[in-house]
Chain A
Amino acid sequence: MLESNLLRGVVYLLVLVGLALPLGSYMARVYNGEAKLAGRLLGPIERLFYRAAGVRADEEMTWKQYAGAVLVFNLLGALVLYVLQRLQASLPLNPAGFGAVSPEISFNTATSFATNTNWQAYGGETTMSHLTQMLGLTVQNFVSAATGMAVLVALVRGFARRTTEGLGNFWVDLTRSTLYVLLPLSIVVALVLVSQGVVQTFAAKETANLLVPTTASDGARVTQQILAVGPAASQIAIKQLGTNGGGFFNVNSAHPFENPNAIANFVEMLSILLIPAALCFTFGAMVKDKRQGAAVFAAMLAIFVPLLVVAVVAEQKGNPMLTGLGVDQVASSLMPGGNMEGKEARFGVVDSALWATVTTAASNGSVNAMHDSFTPLGGLVPMWLMQLGEIVFGGVGSGLYGMLMYAIIAVFIAGLMVGRTPEYLGKKIESFEMKMASLVILLPAAAVLIGTAIACIVPAGTATLGNPGAHGFSEILYAFSSGANNNGSAFGGITVSGVFYATAIGLCMLIGRYWVIVPVLAIAGSLARKKFVPPSAGTLPTHTPLFVALLVGTVLLVGALTFIPALALGPVVEHISLHAK
Chain B
Amino acid sequence: MKSLLRPALVLLASFTILTGVVYPVLVTAVAQAAFPARAHGSLVRDGERVVGSELIGQPFDDPRFFWGRPSATAPYPYNAAASSGSNLGPTNPALRDAVSARIAALRAADPGNGAAIPVDLVTTSGSGLDPHISPAAAYFQVARVARARTLDEARVRALVDSHVEGRMLGVLGERRVNVLRLNLALEELARNGI
Contact B4 A68 (CB under 8 A): yes
A497, CB-defined interface residue at 8 Å: no
Q: Which of A184-231 contact B (CB under 8 A)?
A: 186-187, 190-191, 194-203, 205-212, 214-218, 222, 225-229, 231
**Residues 217-269 (chain A) with a chain B CB within 8 angstroms:** 217-218, 222, 225-229, 231, 233-235, 237-238, 249-251, 254-257, 260-263, 265-266
Q: A136-B20, A174-B11, A256-B131 are in contact. List 11 more A-B contacts (CB 8 A).
A: A80-B16, A125-B81, A200-B31, A256-B129, A263-B173, A265-B173, A327-B119, A336-B174, A373-B87, A373-B95, A471-B90
Query: Contact: B90 with A250, CB < 8 Å?
Result: no
Contact B59 A342 (CB under 8 A): no
Indicate if A443 sits at the interface (CB-CB under 8 A): no
B89 interface residue (CB < 8 Å to A): yes
The B89-123 residues at the A interface (CB cut-off 8 A) are 89-93, 95-96, 99-100, 103, 115-120, 122-123
**Interface digits, B47-88 against A, CB 8 Å rule (1 contact, 0 not)?**
001111111101111100100010000111111111111111
Q: Are B38 and A195 touching (Cβ within 8 A)?
A: yes
A194 B53 Cβ-Cβ under 8 A: no
Chain B residues contacting A405 (CB-CB under 8 Å) are none
- Asked if B8 is at the interface (CB within 8 A of a chain A CB), the reply is yes
A195 closest partner in B (C-beta): B35
Inter-chain contact total with CB atoms closer than 8 Å: 407
Supply 16 A–B pairs (Cβ within 8 Å), ascending by A.
A49-B10, A183-B18, A194-B31, A197-B38, A206-B40, A206-B41, A227-B41, A328-B118, A335-B174, A341-B86, A345-B137, A345-B176, A346-B132, A351-B172, A491-B87, A577-B91
Residue A297, interface by CB 8 Å: no
Shortest Cβ distance from residue B27 to the other chain A in the assembled complex, whole angstroms = 4
Report whether A199 and B41 are in contact in the complex, using a CB–CB cutoff of 8 Å: yes
- Complex CA gap A333/B166 in Å reads 10
B81→A212 contact, CB < 8 A: no
Contacts of A468 in B (CB 8 A): 92-93
List of B residues within 8 angstroms of A474 by Cβ: 89
Q: A4 to B173: give the CA distance in the assembly, Å.
A: 10
A76 to B167, CA, bound (A): 47
Is B193 in contact with chain A by the CB < 8 A criterion? no
Is B141 engaged at the interface, CB distance under 8 Å to the other chain?
A: no
Closest 10 CB pairs between A and B? A262-B173, A254-B126, A493-B87, A335-B134, A471-B89, A262-B172, A328-B116, A335-B136, A334-B136, A53-B10
By a CB distance below 8 angstroms, the chain A residues around B92 are 467-468, 471
A229 B40 Cβ-Cβ under 8 A: yes
Contact A135 B100 (CB under 8 A): no
Using A194-B38, A195-B35 as known contacts, say yes or no to A372 and B56 having CB atoms under 8 A apart.
Answer: no
- Contact partner, B117, options A136, A179, A328, A374, Cβ 8 Å: A328
Q: With an 8 A cutoff between CB atoms, is B194 at the interface?
A: no
| A9-24 to B contact mask, C-beta < 8 Å, 1/0 | 0010000000000000
Cα–Cα distance between A121 and B184 once the two chains are bound (Å): 38
A318 on interface, CB distance cutoff 8 Å: yes
- In this assembly, does A126 line the interface, its C-beta being within 8 Å of a C-beta of chain B? yes
B189 within 8 A of A: no
Knowing A233-B27, A492-B85 touch, does A342 contact B125 (C-beta < 8 A)? yes
In the bound complex, residues from chain A placing their C-beta under 8 Å from that of B116 are 326-328
Q: How far is the CA of A164 from the CA of B99 in the complex (A)?
A: 66
Is A161 among interface residues, defined by CB-CB distance under 8 A?
no
Asked if B142 is at the interface of the complex by the 8 Å CB criterion, the answer is no
Q: Provide the bound-state CA to CA distance between A343 and B7, in Å.
A: 45
Chain A residues with Cβ below 8 Å from B40 are: 199, 201, 203, 206, 229
- Contacts of B41 on A, CB cut-off 8 Å? 199, 201, 206, 227, 229, 257
Contacts of B84 in A (CB 8 A): 123, 250-251
B173 touches A342 (CB 8 A): no
Interface presence of B148 (CB below 8 A): no
Q: Which of B23, B32, B127, B171 makes the CB contact (< 8 A) with A138?
A: B23
- Residue count of chain B within 8 Å CB distance of chain A: 110
Interface string of B8-41 (1 = CB under 8 A from A): 1111101110111101101110111011001111
Which of A73, A171, A210, A255 is within 8 Å of B129, CB to CB?
A: A255
Q: What are the residues of chain B within 8 A of A123 when measuring CB–CB?
A: 82-84
Given contacts A200-B28, A322-B119, A326-B116, contact A260 B88 (CB under 8 A): no
Choose among B27, B49, B139 the residue with the greatest number of A CB atoms under 10 Å from its CB: B27
Cα distance A209–B125 in the bound complex, in angstroms:
22
Near B by CB (< 8 A), chain A positions 122-161 give 123, 125-126, 134-136, 138-139, 141-143
Residues on the B chain within 8 Å of A261, using CB: 168, 173
- Looking at B8, B115, B137, B175, the one whose CB has the most chain A CB atoms below 10 A away is B8
Most buried by A among B11, B54, B137: B11
In the assembled complex, which residues on chain B have CB atoms less than 8 Å from the CB atom of A52? 10, 14
Instruction: Considering the complex, give the chain B residue whose CB is closest to the CB of A196.
Output: B38
Known: A80-B12, A205-B81, A342-B85. A328 touches B168 (CB 8 A): no
| Docked complex Cα distance between A39 and B85 (Å) | 46
From A4, A68, A335, B171 is in contact (CB under 8 Å) with A4
Known: A134-B24, A190-B31, A265-B172. A326 touches B75 (CB 8 A): no
Closest CB-CB distance, B49 to chain A, in whole Å? Answer: 6
Asked whether, in the complex, the Cβ of A257 is within 8 Å of the Cβ of B55, the reply is: yes
A31 contacts B by Cβ under 8 Å: no
User: Which of A262, A326, A340, A375 is the one whose CB lies under 8 Å from B167?
Assistant: A262
Say whether A346 contacts B173, CB under 8 Å: yes
Chain A residues lying within 8 Å of B35, measured Cβ to Cβ, are 194-195
Bound form: Cα–Cα A196–B41 in Å: 11
**Interface pair A139/B15, CB less than 8 Å apart:** yes
Q: What CA separation (Å) do A363 and B80 show in the bound complex? A: 28
Least CB separation from B69: chain A residue: A345
| Minimum Cβ distance to chain A for residue B23 (Å) | 6
Residues 38-54 of chain A: 1 if any B CB is under 8 Å from the residue's CB, otherwise 0? 00000001000100111
A73 to B18, CA, bound (A): 17
Q: Determine whether A574 belongs to the interface, using a CB cutoff of 8 Å to chain B.
A: yes
| Chain B residues whose CB sits within 8 angstroms of the CB of A197 once the complex forms | 38, 42, 54-55
